Structure 1
């Protein structure tokens, strides 16, 4: 079977949208599954629906990467977006043609610098992992290329500045807070390190727009089942080394100035990409609703006998518990348009019910101490402050967390605390060593003793939660209910 390229695609009979040539308007640091299923998908749709007429040049961010595979396929790859929308199974296929080529800067940094000087270049996109936006003193101006990503970007922008070209819009997609601002800060530090002219620094900060962004799409990436790949390729009529898979849901929130939304091609294309003054409330929405729902129900759901998220969405008690927690206790504490929050929460149910993803509860359980603190405790405390009472479901989720970490503790291993599930099988609690040591030290406590020790532990919560009136007694009662009647029955008692 022939490998995908434009000629092979034409022979295959594919009748979807394809854009064979266009000006190269985007330089993208990162060629992995996520960006290809997210950013490059959005630009591809903008070509089709908004006549954007642009191409993306990928830059391989580390020494080993996909440059040869991408160029062998002339930038083409098949993207499957799969999931559930309004309860209906969705499986969409699209050949992405927004990518023109890929450059390996470790072999040809001059090609990157040449692209930097292009009149067509408007955007620079990056996703170089959470560790990518760092200032490393080992990065030097004359390295080909400089070591760190911000150093590479500084060198690229300096080349553009020296060529007398306009500034660009930088869209940072790394999963850290204020990613765009942190990237701009690193660039300015390299200007100082390298002794570059003040005029360049002025150009960087006044002529370029560094945008912090929030990205949200689950991208499993490669299809690992050989039989499934074979079926895909037989249906497609070509061999594709770059098949990519993402969930159907996707939203990109971009923090930027007035007018940027009209400059970007996404609004005109009707895509779920939004330019806002401040990305913080949208991050809070994602953490509190999507991530908070996960952490809020999965630990008790696992103790009740469930193993994957999708099955929980077919259990009326667990789903009902999750929805009550979201709609009655979390959403009322959030500072965004209520309809927007309701729509986002509705999409969460669809995402959790994805028929193509077996998302294991135990994988979500990792580091639940810090997760409950970051994702659930803010909603919990704000609800108490606003309503003057303790939220029933969030309190039960805290009791479920304690139950999960203390259920029939067997032993302490190097990186885990081994507990036993009510149905008999052992499971491993994985968290910071101090948290595991704490629960192991309290393995023989009564419910009352354990709850008091957990709630008063300032290392866990940065405060003494026993000071909240009535909370200690409620969590003791909830923990006993989970242990004596089962987690599902305990969840049912909240409804």
Structure 2
């Protein structure tokens, strides 16, 4: 069977949207699964629904990558967006044709092609997702390296080439998972300009003509299909092979921080896709962390003790699902600084996302580092609720006891990479967290409930404060942990509904 390309796609009888020729308007640092299932999908939709008529050239950000695969398929790849919407199973297939090709700047020919693209009159955007480690200052990065070692170094060199050619500015859309990603990138670029002596004229051009946008991305992208049987079935159905096949969840939203006029420049609003230009992304990040991530940390630890193993099964249990929704609707959404209806829609989508029939999301994988996760994701909602309403939030209070129960359930032994406990069902499980956290719980494995609760809540290294100073919290946690141990986590969850 032949590999996907335009001729093979036509022969296969594919009936979907395809755009073969268009000018390259986007330089994209990153050719991995996430960007191809997210950013390139949105640009592809813009071609179909907004007559954007643009292509994306991918740039391989590290020495090893997918350039040969992308170019062998003329930029084409198959994307499956899978999940649940309004309780209904969704499995959408789309061949993405927004990508033109891929450049490997670690070859002499590729580096030359990168600099040529930088000077293009058609170029409008630079997109990046070089992982959290990508936007960092590296003192070993030099201007005359081909290419400069770090991503900000490459960005500086690309912009300098464009400036020297007398071309206009660009919009930079950073998708790395760090706070203020666009602004951090801009700061490092400016540092390289100063240290490399590239001149005030160039520096002024960068700061006046190049719009560095911080963005918030949200889509789970499992990536490859790993089941050989399913791969064979899809190849037979499609009429081609495609090693670049990508899989993402059906939900996806992109928040771009920028001026209002950027919304009209970008093609996404006209295309009707879930991409939004906002004055700042911080409130939307808070919403994601408090609702999506907070829901995970808030219910999974007790759910695991109650006998559940994957997130989807939790959504099929009335008690666990209602417990999560009560936490979101009654205790988290009321204290968020965003439109209530918007938050409720996001929370509703979270239930669909957790109910994804295509993803077996293990509770134990979510449990990693739950001490710092509860502090970052749940404690702020807890404290703000107490301050606003003058009482304890019942579900979040219970979630803290469930965290303690998970970390102290019939502790067996301390191993080098974790703390081994025994679940009520009888199987052992390994807690993984910072060493000082695991050492603490092992040292307190013989404590009674009251002693353990006091020790945990007064551990300021864990929480940054003494939680016993919150009126009624210690007493409630003693009662909740006792209930979990005596009647089980599910009965404890039911008690707050």
Q: 2:202 aligned with 1:200, yes or no?
A: yes
CA deviation profile, 1:323-379 (whole Å, cap 9, x unmatched)? 000000000010000110000000000000000000000000000000000000000
Q: Secondary structure at the match of 2:360?
A: coil
Structure-2 separation of matches of 1:250 and 1:346? 14
Q: Aligned match of 1:412 in 402, 411, 414?
A: 414
2:216 is matched with 214
Structure-1 separation of matches of 2:180 and 2:456? 32
2:261 is matched with 259
2:83 is matched with 83
List runs of 5+ in structure 2 lacking aligned partners: none
1:223 is matched with 225
Structure-2 separation of matches of 1:87 and 1:473? 39
Q: Aligned match of 1:480 in 479, 482, 487?
A: 482
2:381 is matched with 379
Q: Aligned match of 1:338 in 337, 340, 344?
A: 340
Mapping for residues 78-227 of structure 1, pairs under 5 Å? 78-107=78-107, 108-227=110-229
Structure-2 separation of matches of 1:465 and 1:430? 23
Q: 2:391 aligned with 1:389, yes or no?
A: yes
Mapping for residues 456-471 of structure 1, pairs under 5 Å? 456-471=458-473
Q: Secondary structure at the match of 1:215?
A: strand
Q: 2:242 aligned with 1:237, yes or no?
A: no
2:48 is matched with 48
Q: Secondary structure at the match of 1:331?
A: helix
Q: CA deviation at 1:258?
A: 2.1
Q: Secondary structure at the match of 1:83?
A: strand
CA deviation profile, 1:394-443 (whole Å, cap 9, x unmatched)? 00000000000000000000010000000100000000001000101110
2:72 is matched with 72
Q: Secondary structure at the match of 1:92?
A: strand
Structure-2 separation of matches of 1:83 and 1:308? 15
Structure-1 separation of matches of 2:58 and 2:100? 8
Q: Secondary structure at the match of 1:74?
A: coil
Structure-1 separation of matches of 2:63 and 2:319? 49
CA deviation profile, 1:137-174 (whole Å, cap 9, x unmatched)? 10000000000000000000000000000010000000
Q: Secondary structure at the match of 2:95?
A: strand
Runs of 4+ aligned structure 1 residues displaced above 6 Å come to none
Using the size of structure 1 for normalisation, the TM-score is 1.00
Structure-1 separation of matches of 2:325 and 2:99? 40
1:423 is matched with 425
Q: Aligned match of 1:440 in 436, 439, 442?
A: 442
Structure-1 separation of matches of 2:214 and 2:198? 25
Q: Secondary structure at the match of 1:410?
A: strand
Q: CA deviation at 1:193?
A: 1.2
2:61 is matched with 61
Q: CA deviation at 1:457?
A: 0.6
Q: CA deviation at 1:280?
A: 0.4
2:367 is matched with 365
Q: Secondary structure at the match of 1:275?
A: strand
Structure-2 separation of matches of 1:323 and 1:307? 19
1:293 is matched with 295
Q: Aligned match of 2:328 in 317, 326, 345?
A: 326
CA deviation profile, 1:251-274 (whole Å, cap 9, x unmatched)? 000000120000000000001000
CA RMSD of aligned residues (A): 0.4
Q: CA deviation at 1:192?
A: 1.0
Q: Secondary structure at the match of 1:386?
A: helix
Structure-2 separation of matches of 1:232 and 1:81? 14
Structure-2 separation of matches of 1:160 and 1:414? 52
CA deviation profile, 1:217-260 (whole Å, cap 9, x unmatched)? 00000000111000011000001010000000000000001200
Structure-2 separation of matches of 1:148 and 1:199? 23
2:250 is matched with 248
Structure-2 separation of matches of 1:432 and 1:223? 33
